[in-house]
Amino acid sequence: MNVDILIGKTTEHLVPLEGTKFFIHQQMLHDFLKLQQSARLEGFDLQIASAFRDYDRQLKIWNAKARGERPLLDDQERPLEYAQLSPTEIVFAILRWSALPGCSRHHWGSDIDIFDGKTQAADLVKLIPSECIGSGPSAKLHQWLDRQIYTNNSFGFFRPYREDHGGISPERWHLSYYPISRRIIDVYTFSLFKKNIEDSDIMFKDVILNHAEDIFQRFFLTFDLP
Q: For 12-33, how does the pLDDT look when each residue is reduced to its tens digit (9 = 90+)? A: 999 999 999 999 999 999 999 9
Cβ atoms < 10 Å from Cβ of 149 = 19
pLDDT at 1: 79
Give me the residue spans of the domains in the chain: 3-220
Distance (Å, whole) CA 64 – CA 118: 32
Contact at 8 Å (CB) between 108 and 94? Answer: no
Which CATH entry fits the domain spanning 3-220: 3.40.47.10, 3.30.1380.10, 3.30.420.10, 3.90.600.10? 3.30.1380.10
Contact at 8 Å (CB) between 49 and 172? Answer: no
The pTM score is: 0.94
pLDDT-based confidence at residue 151 (cuts at 50, 70, 90): confident
- What lies within 8 Å, CB to CB, of 8 at 6+ separation is 52, 53, 54, 55, 58, 101, 102, 104, 106, 107, 108
44 phi, psi to nearest 5 deg: -110, 155
pLDDT-based confidence at residue 179 (cuts at 50, 70, 90): very high
Q: For 94-138, how does the pLDDT look when each residue is reduced to its tens digit (9 = 90+)? A: 999 999 999 999 999 999 999 999 999 999 999 999 999 999 999
Q: What percent of the chain is predicted at pLDDT more than 70? A: 100
Contact at 8 Å (CB) between 71 and 79? Answer: yes
